[in-house]
Chain A
């Protein structure tokens, strides 16, 4: 019968299940970057805005060589989404946001330790697919009816900045008071984060989108065409970084922030298209 010696077998089975559950419980989400087998040791969890993907990945390598035995694990996404995750208890040590609004919200909700510091700036640029199916030459063309534009939701920094820019332009009689309205009417989708916007434009699915100038990385540059936004109207994005309250590695978090603010960090950010803070 199945239960012969049953008590013992059942207990063994239960133990196996428990072990299995425990074994799966460790291990935070891994970043998309392929890694060699990580050394046993400490993990630093960095939640960063999507636009920081390339720059932070590079700095992660630097940090790991500086701090042997430490592995930096990144979680990239829309700053608003990351904030929500942290507020719901996700294990973050550092939060790097693409705008101050999200950082302020995080502070209001009590998940930030200490004072945030601005570590990078960025500016916006208009991109179209390299073959420019929408025939967009200037910012004003964005209001042309029938275009397929993409952006993010207003809570994501790039979405907020974009709407801010559109409002600024609407104040200019050359564009017209309903400019923002007309452009937003052309928006076909609110993507998850700025990198998704870049992807949709690069794929040719959208006629155009407004992203950070740093997002036009070498990899992307061949697939898109950039249209500069006049500096007098362009939005300067401000990126704050802070230690998360209740971080498991507060010291390492501080060291990471120090690296980002150091010359090494600033040079790396500059190389990836960010504006320096100083």
Chain B
């Protein structure tokens, strides 16, 4: 169990972070410099918040109001910094055994051997960190942190130093380790895909503020604000006026250039809202093909970016105004793009399923 509610004055802004987590994998997600690493280090005890409260496994390790500040040595945290922080002058075995000083030799040896086996590092005991690959170094760092049976595992951008192929493999390793060793794990990442893949819970940071804490689905599909929406890739955020509810339970949302229908949420709606639609949720159909009339917008592709498996299309809803910025961003799998021959047919129809529309109060 991990509870955090802290404030700290940083050079450019005030950090205010609050969340709690059980034995889950929590990802601190947000742009660089948002305060993620600072918060992580506050939990570890390497930085001191100005005010607030941090508790590990029900015990307060930091409580400004009561003058409690347990030194990092006694917090029983497993801390893995960026670039892993392996001791270059010690072997793998010595690195992993480093935190087991007080433990009887035989037991320590056994624990080290077991942890190395669990992380597939057997056979590397006598190697030095500089002789290891990036993936091996990461696992040694994990082994070292976990062998001391910490109450919480803290990882600072564990995958950022690796190339794409290695990252995928190590993400799987991390998940596997977490499943085996169920303690609260906090991982800092600025990579959205990584955060989604690893995070059971995501804490979204931006400029020192925690903008949202939730499951990955919540953050992904129901961002709490326009800022979160943009951070999690829900790049279509449109201001709209709300028309009164219709007979079929759908409300009408009038954006400046077109209207959409969405399911009426529980509770009253303000007169102005922001409409959030994820790019991959928008379906692209042939312009002339018949389809559901609801939320079917004739559009024209004005720009696109190809990334191999996907195409990102920038579209303007008809009537298109060439000089104006695009209205919608759409993510289309490449095969679909090819099937519809969108390279040549710039006219298409965008279909936005009502359930894909997420509403936020107007800013």
- Chain A directly contacts chain B within the complex, with at least one CB pair under 8 Å: no
